[in-house]
């Protein structure tokens, strides 16, 4: 199938074309000029044998842990279990079984599978900056919880948590002094 891209505004197909690299096109609907950057993947079909069912095992062959009737093709890089071609999940240069992949997602040990992260250290820092007394204890709590958390995947500022904790402690001290002074009267 030759390449088919769409206009970003109208979502109308820009027609089939055969060019790799930068090119110009006109949307047939809004008549706007569109610059296209096409890559070889636009034209490549998936090979017919991309997903294989797995070769049947004969006597003496090592078999897949999950499919005893299939021949083992590769060991899992996570747990070492033998896997057939169907069970093998190639991901980020590793061959993993579905269990290890699921474990990696749950324990966040495979960075490339993480879909989101909470920036609790940043929250602690921002709450520590806001002098509303009640934000102090909350900042302390968040800073302690976020102390060992991985933080942002792209730009983790390690000083967020300690600074947030310090500011939170200062606010909490003032809060306590305020309460004592209030009740002392």
Partner 1 sequence: MGEKTINYIKLPGSGYRSAGSPFVRFALFFVIGFFVLLLRGKRVQLYLGNDHLLVLDTDGYVEEYKRFYWRDIQGFTLRRTVEGKIINLVFGAPFILFSALALSSRDNAAVFLFGIIATVCLIFLIINIVQGPTCDVELFTAVQAEKMPSLGRVKVAKKVLARLQPIINEAQGELKPEEMVPDNPAESVPFEVSQAKFSSSTPVVETYQSKVHSILSWVALADVPGTCLTVFLGQELLRAYSLLHIVALIILSIIALNKQRYTTLPVGLKRLPVVILSGVVICFITSFVLGIYFAFADQEAVATMRENTLGAPWQVVLTVISTAINGFAGLYGVVQLKKYKQSLVEVVPPPLVAADSPVNPDQSI
Residues near partner 1 (CB under 8 A) are: 1-45, 77-78, 92-94, 96, 100, 103-104, 109-112, 114-119, 122-123, 152-155
Cβ at position 47, least distance to partner 1 in Å:
11
**Strand pairing report for 89-91 and 94-96:** antiparallel
Which CB sits closer to partner 1, 42 or 86? 42
Query: Measured between alpha carbons, how far is 59 from 84 in angstroms, rounded to an integer?
Result: 16
Cβ at position 49, least distance to partner 1 in Å:
17
Which CB sits closer to partner 1, 17 or 147? 17
Which CB sits closer to partner 1, 19 or 179? 19
**Tokens matching residue 56:** 């049947």
**Strand pairing report for 13-17 and 21-26:** unpaired
Query: Measured between alpha carbons, how far is 33 from 21 in angstroms, rounded to an integer?
Result: 16
Cβ at position 150, least distance to partner 1 in Å:
9
Query: Measured between alpha carbons, how far is 94 from 91 in angstroms, rounded to an integer?
Result: 5
Cβ at position 13, least distance to partner 1 in Å:
3
């Amino acid at each position: 199938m030759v390449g088919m891209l769409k206009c970003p505004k109208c979502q109308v197909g820009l027609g089939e074309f055969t060019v790799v690299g930068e090119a110009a096109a006109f949307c047939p609907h809004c008549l706007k000029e569109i610059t296209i950057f096409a890559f070889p993947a636009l034209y490549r079909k998936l090979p017919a044998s991309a997903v294989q069912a797995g070769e049947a095992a004969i006597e003496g062959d090592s078999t897949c842990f999950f499919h005893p009737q299939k021949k083992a093709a590769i060991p899992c890089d996570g747990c070492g279990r033998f896997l057939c071609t169907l069970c093998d999940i190639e991901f980020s240069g590793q061959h993993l079984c579905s269990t290890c992949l699921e474990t990696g997602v749950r324990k966040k040990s495979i960075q490339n599978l993480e879909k989101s992260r909470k920036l609790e250290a940043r929250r602690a820092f921002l709450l520590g900056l806001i002098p509303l007394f009640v934000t102090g204890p909350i900042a302390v709590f968040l800073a302690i919880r976020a102390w060992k958390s991985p933080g942002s995947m792209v730009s983790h500022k390690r000083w967020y948590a300690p600074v947030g904790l310090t500011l939170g402690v200062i606010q909490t001290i003032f809060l306590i002094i305020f309460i004592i002074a209030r009740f002392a009267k």
